[in-house]
Structure 1
Amino acid sequence: MTTRRKLTKLPEHLWSAEKTATYLGVEVTTLYAWRYKHEGPAAYRVGRWLRYDPEDIRAWLGGQVAA
């Protein structure tokens, strides 16, 4: 489930959905499906676009270890 967090420190840069999908090796539509299901990494809405903090992506990915 995606959790909301308050930004205490602004990230240097945010990744687009395309860059995030490429990093994770998934389709952009998969990111949007995860968001719809309240799964996947946290995202920020910037205007009409989703943006991802690379630190959040790495932290989320670290928690996805297969059993």
Structure 2
Amino acid sequence: MRSLSPAPDDARATLRGGLPDRYLTPDDIAEIFEVPKETLYQWRRKRIGPPSFRIGKHVRYDPADVLAYVTERKSADLDAA
């Protein structure tokens, strides 16, 4: 069975190529959205970014939740236009 995730350093290709078989880190999400990591932490505090959760002291993102968030944002932008 082939892995759905490409090289770990290419987070965008990971999401475009299918759901990865691992949870995403803040570094992954910052790269995907091209925003500073601090922006992600502000979104998390304000509860306005992609859903995240903690594993111990580490923040993680479920790829399915990130894809749903992006889809929701895209449709909201289309509705507003």
Aligned sequence identity (%): 35
**Which is richer in strand?**
1
Count of matched residue pairs: 57
* Greater relative contact order (Cα < 8 A, sep 6+): 1
Q: Displacement, 1:51?
A: 0.4
Please give the alpha-carbon distance, in whole angstroms, between the structure 2 residues aligned to 1:20 and 1:53.
11
Unaligned runs of 5+ in 1: 1-10
Unaligned runs of 5+ in 2: 1-19
1:29 aligned residue: 38
Question: Bigger radius of gyration, 1 or 2?
Answer: 2
Q: Displacement, 1:63?
A: 0.8
RMSD of equivalent CA atoms: 1.4
**Which is richer in helix?**
2
1:17 aligned residue: 26
Q: Displacement, 1:15?
A: 0.6
Q: Displacement, 1:12?
A: 3.1
TM-score under structure 1 normalisation? 0.75
Runs (4+) of structure 1 exceeding 6 A deviation are none
CA deviation string 1:39-60 (max 9, x = no partner): 1111110111100011111110
